Each structure stands twice: as C-alpha cells, then as structure tokens.
Structure 1
Amino acid sequence: MRWLAFGTYDVQRHPRVGVLIEGLRAAGDEVVEVNVPLALDTAGRVAMLRQPWRLPKLAWMLGRCWTLLAVRARRAPAADAVLVGYLGHFDVRLARRLFRRTPIVLDHLVSAAGTAHDRALTGGGGGLKAKLMRWIDRGALRCADVVVVDTDEHLAALPADAAARGVVALVGAGAQWFAAGAARPVADPSRPLKVVFVGLFTPLHGTEYLGDALARLAGDADIAVTMVGKGQDYAACRAAAADNPRVTWLDWVDAADLPALVAEHDVALGIFGTTAKAQNVVPTKVFQGAAAGCAVVTSDTAPQRRTLGDDALFVPAGDAEALVAMLRSLASDRALLASSQHKAAARAADRFAAATVVEPIRARAAQSPATPPAMQQTY
C-alpha cells in the first residue's frame, strides 16, 4: 500500500506516529509524509484550555499549518490510505475535506475529553469545557474510516459507531530504542541500582505517589533515581523527594539522546496514578523501557497486565510503600533484576517492534472501502 502520513504531528514530542510510519515502511509499504508540525505540545494545549483567551493563538497557528498542508497535499501522489497522526483531532477534519474518497485512518491515542478530565480541566464533566471536549472527539471520530486506539479499554470507550470502525494497535517502540538496548553497558553489580522515570508529571503518571516513594528511599544508598521531565505535578513531587540526595532531576532530554540515557539504567518506571485514565492505558515509557533492556516496574492495571504478562513487575496503583519494597528487592537481588531485564527485552522484541504493532492497522486499512456516502454527507 501507499500511505500518506498527514497532519501537524511532531515525532520528537510524540513518538507514536513515528513508530507507525517506521512500522509501515518495515512491512514493505510506501509512506509519503505531508507534515507541518504544530509548535505546541500537549502541555501548551492544556494551558490554552485553562486560559481560553489564548485560543485565538492556537487557531492562528493551526491555520498557518493547514495552509501549508493543503498546498503540499495537492502535490502529493495518490495514496491508498491517509494516516492522521496522534493529536489529530483537528487535522482529521482537514484530511476528510482534502481526501474525500480515500480511507482516513485516525490514530486516536487519547481522547480530548479524557485528557481534560484527567488534568482536572472539566470539573465534574458537565460544564462547557467538558461538552466542548466531547464535541471535538465526536467530530474527529466521524471523519475517520478507521479509528486506531492502543488498548481494549479505549476501544470499549468509543461511541458504538466509532467502535465498529476501531482497531487496537499497541504503542510500541522505535528502532532507536532497540538499538540502545542492544548497546547497553555491562552492569556493575557493586554499584547502586539505577532507576529512571520519564514523563510529564500529570495525574496519570502518579508522581504524587512517586515523590512519596522517593522520600522513603532517602536512606537507601544502593538506589539512585533519575527523574526526567516537568509538568503540573513536578513541583509537588520534587518537594516531597527533597531529602533524597540520590535523585537527579533533568528538565528534559532531547529525543535523540533519550534511548541511550534510559538504557544506562537498570529499571524503567511506568505509571502509578489512580485516575480513570491511568486504569486504561499502557504508557509509551513502558514499551520504550522494555525495548531498551530495562526491568519495567509499573502499576498493576488490566491493560498493562494484558500487554506485559509476566515480563514486568507490578505494584498496586497509588501504593508508594509497595513501590519502595519492589525497588529495594531489585537492589538486593541482582539475579531477579537480570531476569526481569531479560524477560522485558524478549517481550519487546517479540511484540513491541514497529513492524509488529502496525499489523492490525494494515489489515484493517486494506479492508476499508472508499469513504462511504454517509461520511461524505457530513461536509
């Protein structure tokens, strides 16, 4: 097949679409990119929702990107399917107008309503902001012929008509993460256990509990932790862990350097939040950490259990003491650590490589007919 990867996606900020493009090419498909990245990350978009008077800036930025996208789309070769990248809630509307008779595949990794609720932007869910987020989601889903989600839970959460067009594809990890895993330095068992967390410090990540765990580990000289990223719960997490001298804080690391940094560590942390959203996802960092050859420690939720099986180490969501106990056991039992690392890497190689995660998308897109009349009548 020939694919057109379309939208304002930013592979450096959100690697998911890069994994899909890599996987399609590895599977033998041709992928032509029509991409004008929107210079605004998820945190920036959330900030605009908190301060609605800044929305005209978003409209102006999006309009500029769309103008360039429309020009480049006209020059692009005909495609068998169009892939609209992650955070494509608005881009898919433009794609539907430009490619009326070509199947549109929307990577609906997160819903606008779910993200807004997780970040406490919509109160109880019945206000104007909540209705706006649901309207954004519904409009995006109506424009897509195939809706891609990452877990069975997210598929079940789709409206019935969209679920009928849905397909589940794991987030996966790009080739650079597997390369970093293959180049991992030989661990010195006499040094402290090296633990890494990478994230945006949102309620989903549960860094409130992670900060508590770091505080409890203040007296453990054999455990060193690297915390990468910043976000809404960063200050509280850092304040809670202030007495632990073996925590290194990095505001961020360039995407090109991140795989090697993670691979220098023994353990990669997943998520520990107790929000509804946290119960339904398998975070990108889990796939990447496993591909990099780290032991993975994350919360014991249904989608993570299903995806990772017995090849990760689980603790109850929101349980700082259980996380502390798990890290101490890995620090004291290096055989358990080595076994956990091996199992995580083996599962990643078998199930999380880009060419593997795109298989259900390719199969579904190949079966998708040209845009049905009902979809065209929306415009």
Structure 2
Amino acid sequence: MAAPNKASILVLGVHPDSEAYPNIKYRLEALRRHSEYHLSEINFPIWRDARKSKGAFAALARTFWAHTYVLLSCIFRYKKINPQIIYIPYPAIFCTLLVRLCFIRRPIVLDAFISIYDTVVNDRSVLNKTSIMAKLLFAIERNAFNLAAKVMVDTRENAEFYSQLFKLPIEKFVVSPLFTNEEARAGKAVRLDSNKFNVLFVGNMIPLHGVGVILEATRLLLGEEDIQFVLIGDGQESWRVDEFVGQSNLRWIRDWVPEFEIKGAIEQADVCLGVFAGNAKSNRVCPYKLYLYNFLGKPIVTFASTWAVRQAQSTMTLIPGGDAVQLANAILELREILGKGTTKYNNNFYQACLSNEKASVVFDTMVNELIAGYSEVRRGG
C-alpha cells in the first residue's frame, strides 16, 4: 500500500532498463527518487541489451513468456499494490491490452516512444499497408492507444499525427521530452583527430536519418583536407556506408558504443549532424541524438522539420531535407563561423525545452490530473 499523501504508481511492462534505452532507464530512476510517488514495479524485459535476442524463435519465445509473466504477476499482485495510476513504458502495446483483459480500470499511461505500426509500415516499409499483417498491427496499436487514459509522445507533431492516423482525440496525447543521462561523465574511448574539423553523426543507419545525404556531402567535401566526417552507428542502411569505406575524409565506427562514450565523441566534435531524409516521419520527430547534441551545447546541422522550425530558442542550422549540397555548404559556413570565434554555443535551448526537469513537470501534471479525474468519476461527479 502507498504511504499517506503519496500517489501510488505501478510501473508495469516488458521494458529494458539499460543504457541502450536511456529514456526508459532515466525516467524510471527519476520516478523511483520522486518524493511524492510510491512506486511498485512489475517488469520482465523482452530484451536485455542493444543487440536484443538472437534469432526469431528465441525472440518470439522470450516475448511470449515476458507477457505471460507480466499478466500473471498483475493478476496476483494488483490488489496488494492497489495503484492509482499504471504506467507502461515502451514497448507498451500488448501490456496495455493485457491489463484491460484483467478488467483493471485504473488509468493507464502508455509510453508511445516508438509506434510499431508507423515504424514497420510507413518508415521502414517492412510491411505493405494493404497486407493483413499491417492491418492487424494497426488494429492492435489503435486499440491499445484507445484503452489508455493518456498516450505519451515526444513532440506535438507526433501527437497530431497519431491522433489523425488512429482517429483518436488529440486530448488523449501528452507531449513530453525524452529523458537523458544528464549526470554521466563523457568517456574517452572514442578519440577524434584534434587537428581536423570534425563533423560527427551518431545514430542507427535507417531511412529516417538520411545517411545517403551525409555520404554524398562527404564526397562533395573531399577537397577540404581539414574536414573529417565521423559516423558512429550501424543498421538497415549500413550498406550505403560500405561503399564509402576507405574514403580519406570518412571514419566509420560500426560497433555499438555506450552513451557516455558517445558523449565523449560529441564533446570533441566541431559540428554534429541530425537527420536529413526529409520524409514524413523526419518532419515530426526530435531524434535522441539532438538531445545529446543540445545538452552539450554543440553546433548542429539538421533537417528543417516542422518540429525544428518551431523551436524559436534553438541555434540549430536548418537545411532542406535530402539536399547534400546544402549540407556541405552549411558545414563550410560553420567552419568559417567557428574559426572566427565570435559565435558562442550553449545548452540554453536544452534546459528550456528538452531537459529532464521539463519532462518531470509534464509527467507530474499528467499524474495529478488523472488521479483527480479518476477520483471524481468514482464519486459519481
């Protein structure tokens, strides 16, 4: 039972709690420290690290067992915990459905860190939207969103997109920044050449990030001998980078790198690169890398998305999507500006709009409103 005057929150799910998923890890750490919350947890991670389960059968078996464990634990422990709010971190879809299957009516907060349907159908085109599997996935995800009292997303643009896609009221969605590790010291394992003007890209090689645009910019700037591109990451479109391996101005770190080492690389970089695809999804997201770049107060070049254009306090350099020439020119301009030393970059934008403190305020406000609303309903108001 919760202590008097403390909000009782059950964190339930199959979520990872590791450095590979910092939004989950550091949000949960903040909730555990929160003086106004009594936290209970039921969790069976469906994957343990960034590499996840090896093999389709092993992944399917672990996913099935994880959800079974969570369902049984919820059934046997729910009355004792007696939560006022149930918070389900990503991946939250199936757990949300299972909770409602148990006829539990307490408000659910679903963390929609990534939409599975949007990722596999719209972004990565793994499934055709007319296929039976895509339609089934759409129905499952929409139903989960609908059953939740609130769905947490990271940008206003994502809230509007999901509201239109799943035909759900915009009021169901709560916009909150992601959590980051604001305390860890930067590592020193990744060393950049201090004699070069280092242009850094960090992230998965997926269509959203527009890796092809970055690679074309490296080709355009081959004659600028002081400019060095450093790419950290691997993924679906790593084959594009394979074709450029050996190019004199490109260094590729393909192995998974922990966040504190990535921070070390960012600190050494002169310019950091965001996303450049210019597609529908890149128009409404704020990739995690932009949190790290802004936290460390680095000069950034990224796509002029609807989200980015709306950030009046930001000092990011914005360019059209899919344009390697514009990217190359922006890098050259920043090299000149930084060389003069007249422009100072800081993390004021991060502190005002993307910080953990900002995310905590959003979460606290949502919890208070849900508890008040549920209490009113129980009183018959």
3-state SS, counterpart of residue 278 of structure 1 = coil
CA distance in 2, matches of 1:339, 1:28: 41
Give the match for residue 15 of structure 2: 9
What 5-or-longer segments of structure 1 have no aligned partner?
49-53, 374-379
Pick from 158, 163, 171: which aligns with 2:170? 163
Q: Which amino acid aligns with 1:6?
A: L
Q: Which amino acid aligns with 1:34?
A: I
Q: CA deviation at 1:193?
A: 2.0
Check the 8 A contact 1:268/1:297 in 2, yes or no: yes
Question: Aligned-pair RMSD on alpha carbons?
Answer: 3.3
Higher relative contact order (CA 8 A, sep 6+): 1
Check the 8 A contact 2:201/2:273 in 1, yes or no: yes
Kindly report which structure 2 residues correspond to 1:176-191, keeping only aligned pairs within 5 A, or say none. Answer: 176=183, 180=186, 191=195
| Bigger Cα Rg | 2
Give the % identical residues.
23
Give the match for residue 237 of structure 1: 241
Give the match for residue 376 of structure 1: none
CA distance 1:190–1:230, shift in 2 (3 Å): closer
Give the match for residue 3 of structure 2: none
3-state SS, counterpart of residue 279 of structure 1 = coil
Check the 8 A contact 1:24/1:355 in 2, yes or no: no
CA distance in 2, matches of 1:247, 1:170: 31
Give the match for residue 267 of structure 2: 263
Q: CA deviation at 1:98?
A: 5.4
CA distance 1:99–1:283, shift in 2 (3 Å): farther
Give the match for residue 47 of structure 2: 39
CA distance in 1, matches of 2:341, 2:150: 41
CA distance in 2, matches of 1:160, 1:333: 46
Aligned pair count reads 357
Kindly report which structure 2 residues correspond to 1:8-87, keeping only aligned pairs within 5 A, or say none. Answer: 8-11=14-17, 12-24=19-31, 28-30=35-37, 31-39=39-47, 54=56, 57-70=58-71, 73=74, 74-75=76-77, 77-87=81-91
CA distance in 1, matches of 2:342, 2:265: 19
3-state SS, counterpart of residue 253 of structure 2 = strand
CA distance in 2, matches of 1:27, 1:313: 37
State the TM-score, normalized to the length of structure 2: 0.82
Q: CA deviation at 1:167?
A: 1.1
State the TM-score, normalized to the length of structure 1: 0.82
CA distance 1:215–1:365, shift in 2 (3 Å): same
Q: CA deviation at 1:317?
A: 0.9
CA offsets 1:308-364 (integer angstroms, 9 cap, x no match): 64421111111111111111222232267773632xx11112322212123223212
Kindly report which structure 2 residues correspond to 1:168-247, keeping only aligned pairs within 5 A, or say none. Answer: 168-176=175-183, 180=186, 191-240=195-244, 242-247=246-251
3-state SS, counterpart of residue 161 of structure 1 = coil
CA distance 1:26–1:221, shift in 2 (3 Å): farther
3-state SS, counterpart of residue 326 of structure 2 = helix
3-state SS, counterpart of residue 82 of structure 1 = strand
What 5-or-longer segments of structure 2 have no aligned partner?
1-6
CA distance in 2, matches of 1:3, 1:337: 49
Kindly report which structure 2 residues correspond to 1:292-307, keeping only aligned pairs within 5 A, or say none. Answer: 292-307=296-311
Check the 8 A contact 2:20/2:258 in 1, yes or no: no
Is 1:118 paired with 2:123? yes
Q: CA deviation at 1:148?
A: 0.9
3-state SS, counterpart of residue 168 of structure 2 = helix
Give the match for residue 139 of structure 2: 135
